[in-house]
Amino acid sequence: MSESSRGARSKPRLTVVGGGFAGLTAAITAAEGGAEVTLHEAHRTLGGRARTAEAEGRYRTNDGPHALYNGGAHWAWLRTRNLIGRLAPLSPVEALRLRLHHRGRLHRLPPLGMLRLLGRSPAKAPIDADFLGWATGEVGPTGARAAAHYAAVALFHHDPGALSAAFVQERLRRATKLPPEAHYPRGGWSSVIERMAAHARDLGVRTETGARLDRLPEDGPVVVATSLAAARSLLDDESLSWPSGRTVLLDLAVRARRGDAFALSDLDAPGWIERFSALDPTLAPAGEQLIQGQIPIGPGQGKEAGTARAEHLLDLGMPGWRDRLTWRRTSLAEGRTGAVDHPGTTWRDRPAIDRGDGVYLAGDQVAAPGVLSEVSFHSAVEAATLALRSAGRGSATGNGPGGGTGGGTRDGKDPATGPRDRRGVRR
Ligand SMILES: Cc1cc2nc3c(=O)[nH]c(=O)nc-3n(C[C@H](O)[C@H](O)[C@H](O)COP(=O)(O)OP(=O)(O)OC[C@H]3O[C@@H](n4cnc5c(N)ncnc54)[C@H](O)[C@@H]3O)c2cc1C
């Protein structure tokens, strides 16, 4: 047997379930590590929540992500591989049109207490205390409440003040950094997804779309890069859950008007509205503006509660929008906006990446660090690295940019309700 055919035969096989940001990251990482990768995606197109959909053939709407934070390790990883593409820059004029809704009126600047809080390192914020209690002790109740509500832009939760202080402070700092961390891929995130998919193909990854798996393949390691809810049923493991947000999304298009706010942040309650076409005119036809409101609501609330709050903010920041409306759509993102950590918990307590028996989890609600899709990225790199290792390739610990996420719960054990093997037998 020739050296090359021996090499080809010894290539480990790896399956990735899910073709969103996590699945594509895992597939690329595994293929770069020398594996023969097959990726199964249930939908007819790749991207998952990072898909950019065409509405009425005119508006390019993002289901999930808009912003790519350049402080995250995914930024460097994508950039090294030339996968980010063109960005849609925010002009200084539009940047000055950010308005903050506080005590019923729009302001250009946040309350002083909130500004003071931005200087506090997340390392100083306790894991075990709630954000509102800790921040109130630091800067008083007005600044603390405003800061909690502002942070909702990066956590999509109806009560950010009740979450772990360390968790919220990290997001607050990253969402308010100057120059801003948030960057916007031109044409929406699907442009990044298309480049990732092409790169995966070039590396030999076999991609099957419209291919929902209802059981795990048994030949070789598997990276399950679905939502945590889908992983729960695929692995038949009830322990796979972690809290997330519940957010009303109000997408609308209006005829353009000079002087509309670029973004409206509600400091009286969690909520954010952004005119995304101000950055990226390719999202809407000429003369129109594409806007999305993201208004978190509590467990007992209906969509109308979020919609009413969004409309009130629009009345203040984009006067006359009702008469200029050309299209609108309301939806509810439930459990789709990434993990949130309550006091006493960190990312290390979320469902572990390594499920045993050659099965690895990736996604934005598993045990990996980062903000929003960065959790998907870190866990995907870790899962693929561990999968390669189990197949006899790769280093002993995750070599991901996170330096190895450990992949375990804090005590390193799974709950009693924990995983079954691939045939459904409880281990
Ligand atoms: C409103 C909103 C705003 C957001 N804003 C941002 C932002 O600004 N910045 C940011 O970084 N992140 C943001 N996020 C988070 C970001 O969208 C997610 O973290 C990221 O897209 C998750 O990617 P994923 O691959 O882990 O999961 P998904 O995108 O959910 O991908 C999972 C894939 O698995 C597939 N699948 C499921 N079951 C099966 C099966 N049985 N067989 C085969 N395939 C299956 C699904 O079809 C899907 O394509 C936002 C999310 C939302 C909802």
CATH number at residue 190: 3.50.50.60
Q: Are residues 360 and 293 in the same domain?
A: no
Domain boundary among 304, 339, 374: 339
Contact 398, 404 (CB under 8 A): yes
What are the residue ranges in the chain where pLDDT is below 50? 1-8, 396-404, 406-418, 423-425, 427
Instruction: Specify the pLDDT at position 420.
Output: 52
Q: Are residues 196 and 84 in the same domain?
A: yes
3-class SS at 297? Answer: coil
Closest C-alpha among 190, 193, 174 to residue 182: 174
185 lines ligand 1 (CB under 6 A): no
- Output DSSP code: residue 47: B
Give DSSP secondary structure letters for 75-137: HHHHHHTT-S--B-PPPHHHHTTEEEEETTEEESS--HHHHHHTTS-GGGS-SSSBHHHHHHH
Atom of ligand 1 nearest to the CA of 247: 1
Q: Are residues 226 and 165 in the same domain?
A: no
373 lines ligand 1 (CB under 6 A): yes
Instruction: Specify the pLDDT at position 402.
Output: 41
* CA of residue 49 to ligand 1 center, whole Å: 4
Report the C-alpha gap between 87 and 183 in whole angstroms.
7
Q: Are residues 65 and 199 in the same domain?
A: yes
Instruction: Specify the pLDDT at position 82.
Output: 97
Instruction: Specify the pLDDT at position 286.
Output: 96
Report the C-alpha gap between 257 and 384 in whole angstroms.
48
**Which tokens belong to 37?**
């990768």
* CA of residue 200 to ligand 1 center, whole Å: 18
* CA of residue 360 to ligand 1 center, whole Å: 17
Q: Are residues 308 and 261 in the same domain?
A: yes
C-beta atoms surrounding 228 within 10 Å: 20
192 lines ligand 1 (CB under 6 A): no
Closest C-alpha among 425, 13, 26, 20 to residue 235: 425
User: Quick one: angle between helices 373-390 and 73-80, nearest 10?
Assistant: 70
Contact 286, 302 (CB under 8 A): no
What CATH code is carried by the domain that includes residue 326?
3.90.660.20
Instruction: Specify the pLDDT at position 66.
Output: 86
Instruction: Specify the pLDDT at position 391.
Output: 87
**Cis peptide, bond prior to residue 179, ω within 30 of zero:** yes
Q: Are residues 233 and 372 in the same domain?
A: yes
Domain boundary among 281, 311, 339: 339
Atom of ligand 1 nearest to the CA of 43: 47
Atom of ligand 1 nearest to the CA of 336: 53
Q: Are residues 400 and 366 in the same domain?
A: yes
390 lines ligand 1 (CB under 6 A): no
Measure the CA angle with vertex 351, ends 332 and 348; round to 5°. Answer: 105
Determine the residue type at 120.
R
Q: Is residue 185 exposed (0-12), middle (13-18) or buried (19+ Cβ within 10 Å)?
A: buried
Closest residue by Cα to atom 32, ligand 1, is 226
Q: Are residues 67 and 149 in the same domain?
A: no
65 lines ligand 1 (CB under 6 A): yes
Q: Are residues 326 and 352 in the same domain?
A: no
Q: Are residues 29 and 153 in the same domain?
A: no
Distances (CA, A) of 203 to 3, 42, 114, 136, 221: 21, 22, 47, 52, 19
* CA of residue 133 to ligand 1 center, whole Å: 32
Q: Are residues 280 and 347 in the same domain?
A: no
Q: Please, which residues have CB within 8 angstroms of residue 163's CB and are 6 or more apart in sequence?
A: 130, 131, 155, 157, 340, 341, 342, 343
* CA of residue 21 to ligand 1 center, whole Å: 7
Q: Are residues 228 and 283 in the same domain?
A: no
Report the C-alpha gap between 124 and 165 in whole angstroms.
9
Closest C-alpha among 251, 245, 262 to residue 171: 245
Q: Which residue of 24, 49, 242, 273 sits with most ligand 1 atoms within 8 Å of its CB, as the best mutation to test the pocket? A: 49
Residue 41's DSSP bridge partners are 209
Atom of ligand 1 nearest to the CA of 72: 11
Q: Domain limits at 319?
A: 244-339
49 lines ligand 1 (CB under 6 A): yes
Domain boundary among 176, 199, 220: 176
Atom of ligand 1 nearest to the CA of 374: 11
26 lines ligand 1 (CB under 6 A): no
**Which tokens belong to 416?**
């009693």
Prediction pTM value: 0.93
* CA of residue 331 to ligand 1 center, whole Å: 16
pLDDT in tens, 45-90: 999 999 988 999 999 998 888 899 999 999 999 999 999 999 999 9
234 lines ligand 1 (CB under 6 A): yes
H/E segment holding residue 171:
helix 165-176
Atom of ligand 1 nearest to the CA of 21: 25
365 lines ligand 1 (CB under 6 A): no
Closest residue by Cα to atom 5, ligand 1, is 65
Closest residue by Cα to atom 42, ligand 1, is 212
Q: Which residue of 214, 226, 274 sits with most ligand 1 atoms within 8 Å of its CB, as the best mutation to test the pocket? A: 226
Closest residue by Cα to atom 52, ligand 1, is 64
372 lines ligand 1 (CB under 6 A): yes
Name the domain count of the chain: 3
Atom of ligand 1 nearest to the CA of 371: 11
21 lines ligand 1 (CB under 6 A): yes
